[in-house]
Amino acid sequence: MQPKDTFFSRKLTINCKGELIDLSFPKVMGIVNITPDSFYDGGKYTSAESLISQIDKMILEGCDIFDIGAYSSRPGTQGVTEDEELKRLSIALKVIREKFPKIIISVDTFRSNIARQVVQDFDVDIINDISAGEMDKKMFETIAELRVPYIMMHMQGTPENMQENPQYENIVKSIVMYFSKKIDELSLLGVNDVILDPGFGFGKTLDHNYQLLKHLDDFKIFELPILAGVSRKSMICKPLEIKPQDALNGTTVVNTLALMGGANILRVHDVKAALETIKLHAKFDQAKVENWHD
């Protein structure tokens, strides 16, 4: 029997309500922040009309997964109460599900009670947890009960304090060890549909972010899909000395590097640009040099 080759045996499907979603061709996850204070698009989608219009636009541009967030996790945020987060999500998800009953929805929350509510009440497909169960110890068992795919992100600290001098002896090794422990815990609970997000910008310095990006393919060792969320973040804005509003070109460059490192999902504000990036990278990846002779 041949030894298993982890590079070619990665689990690149997730099960959304009985339908297998193939991630071998990377997917676009569009960000829909229903918060007043997100770093780039805060306050843009607080009415039913603006929300429907934005999702319509994203569908036309080729969005695969819609990530709805009601809790801003930008550095230094003070957050919102659980009741307020659930209220925001309930209003938005009711509008979205009535208008778009079949789209794949991910909800960005670290609270297990909210995860349970949105899956049960609004048929949410995926839970996206920035804290990998650290900020709510009931999250793992809740995901096991709900039987939905789980995006598990690494973050050092909390949104309030994560950028206060983050330190690692070896950031790639540290996060690999962290994910290894978490994956074991989830596996014991029967959770197999897991997507890994190394957490660019969450408890990392500028250098940490680029070290992670350079070694993104190290996370293939887990044979699980990888999500990259770099859209318009400070890791792009700081080196270029620009604002998030001017960071689309830089985002495209970094998304390309993430795809070259094995990313299976790009979490982005700009769907059209991300899909074009994926298509061109795929063309590059598939190109073969014909044999030639003198």
User: Is the alpha carbon torsion for 197, 152, 128, 78 positive or negative?
Assistant: negative
Residue 288 and residue 159: Cα distance in Å, rounded?
Answer: 45
Q: Which tokens sit at 277? A: 């990036």
Q: Is 283 assigned a catalytic role?
A: no
pLDDT of residue 41: 46
What residue spans define the domains of the chain? 12-280
Catalytic residue chosen out of the listed positions 27, 204, 232, 267: 267
Residue 251 and residue 270: Cα distance in Å, rounded?
Answer: 9
pLDDT of residue 181: 97
Residue 102, CB half-sphere, CA atoms under 13 Å: how many? 2
> Which residue stretches of the chain have pLDDT < 50?
1-8, 37-42
Q: Is 267 assigned a catalytic role?
A: yes
CATH topology for the 12-280 domain = TIM Barrel (3.20.20)
pLDDT of residue 65: 98
Catalytic residue chosen out of the listed positions 233, 243, 272, 283: 233
pLDDT of residue 48: 86
pLDDT of residue 71: 86
pLDDT of residue 3: 39
pLDDT in tens, 83-111: 999 999 999 999 999 999 999 999 999 99
| Full DSSP string of 160-208 | TTTTSS---SSHHHHHHHHHHHHHHHHHHTT---EEEE--TTSS--HHH
Claim: this prediction has a pTM higher than 0.85: yes
Q: Which tokens sit at 178? A: 């962290």
